[in-house]
Amino acid sequence: MDNSFGNIFRITSFGESHGDLVGIIVDGVPAGLELDLEYIQNELNKRKPGQSSLTTTRLEEDRVKLLSGLFDNRTTGAPICLIIENKDFNSSIYEKYKNFLRPSHVDYTALKKYGGFSDYRGSGRFSGRITAGFVMAGAIAKQILKKYDITIFAYTKSIENIIDEETYIIDEFEKIVELREKSLVRAIDHEKSKLMEKIVEENRQQKDSIGGTVKCIITNFPEGKGGPLFNSIESNISKAIFAIPAIKGIEFGAGFKAARMKGSEHNDPWILKDGKIQTTKNDAGGIIGGISTGMPIEFTVAVKPTASIGIPQKTVNLKTMENVEIEFSGRHDPCIVPRVIPVIEAMTANVLLDCLLIEGYIPRIL
């Protein structure tokens, strides 16, 4: 089965894009947490469709409903079930194209995996819609991590050839979040944001799509956490991030740039500052040997162009078994990068909380 993730802090995803609802079951939440449902809703709002002219026109209210695991506004230690209802969807177009393999969609692989029984409407379980559950779980994890001053911040680093090369130190968390939320593409640099927005709009007008990269920074994560092999922080974060549709790559610290560097360039020198051991730079991305160093954990994610476009493409008609050319239609994001940012933060939070619960750094009763 492929619907659950995590060890102690364990999430189980359910629902389909055009079903009645999507949701998440979150097990292992420490008892005694005063849960802020408004915060969960605010995180969901960052992910939901219809936010601007640069996103899909599907309009979903995405109001979170909590069904279990809370008593007197505090977590009980029992599983927490969270859902949102699907309301604004039109499945007729998927009926029309159900015999055609959409390029770079899951139609063919799902057919081979599930024998034609999977829900193809809006891509069903494979839809980005199911990540709403990831965000709801992550919003719980973030509330716990915040008690330990651990922050997670992601932003759009690039779209097409427009790259924000600045190195941001997240010392004023609320200020930098505010800057990001003023941007339609969730970039930080105002001028770069406008250029990125222009590219996304051009692709929307052309019925095409575009990809980009997202950078994520975690601060105040304690040193000495993680494992040297199969439970390294990199491997667990990577597995979580690749559960997000449209992700095609991840790199930590200097990443692939390290392949072009000398050891004297890539090595992070250790220093003693204010009585604390740290490094002068952070090309390791806050992780050495799979274990946290105490420096900010930094990684960058590659997001592919949205597969759903309105340009004629070659495909196969499964009913007639013929090569055909077809133009698909529907309501889709010309660039998924801005909406994937809260999902990346959420899945990172889920991994890091699970790690700290395993390590005993965070107790089972708060």
- Distance separating alpha carbons of residues 173 and 168, to the nearest angstrom: 11
- Distance separating alpha carbons of residues 113 and 269, to the nearest angstrom: 49
4-358: CATH architecture? 4-Layer Sandwich (3.60)
> b vs e for 143-163, b when ≥16 Cβ sit within 10 Å of the residue's Cβ?
bbbeeeebbbbbbbbbbbebe
pLDDT at 316 over 70: yes
For the chain, list the strands marked E by DSSP: 4-5, 10-15, 21-27, 65-68, 70-71, 74-75, 80-85, 151-159, 162-163, 212-219, 247-252, 270-273, 276-279, 287-288, 291-292, 297-303, 313-317, 322-326
- Distance separating alpha carbons of residues 142 and 362, to the nearest angstrom: 13
pLDDT computed for residue 330 by the predictor: 67
- Token pair, residue 246, equals 């449209």
pLDDT in tens, 283-299: 999 999 999 999 999 99
Q: Is residue 323 a contact partner of residue 247, using CB atoms and an 8 Å limit?
A: no
- Distance separating alpha carbons of residues 200 and 209, to the nearest angstrom: 7
108: exposed, middle or buried (Cβ count in 10 Å: 0-12, 13-18, 19+): middle
- Distance separating alpha carbons of residues 352 and 226, to the nearest angstrom: 9
In this structure, the chain runs to a length of: 366
Q: What is the mean pLDDT of residues 205-230?
A: 96
pLDDT computed for residue 167 by the predictor: 80
pLDDT in tens, 23-44: 999 999 999 999 999 999 999 9
Residues in CB range of 261: below 8 A, 6 or more apart: 254, 283
pLDDT in tens, 60-88: 788 999 999 999 989 999 999 999 999 87
pLDDT computed for residue 98 by the predictor: 87
Q: Is residue 244 a contact partner of residue 185, using CB atoms and an 8 Å limit?
A: no
Closest by Cα among 247, 212, 183, 209 to 333: 209
Confidence bin at 132 (pLDDT 50/70/90)? very high
Q: What pTM, to 2 d.p., does this model score?
A: 0.94
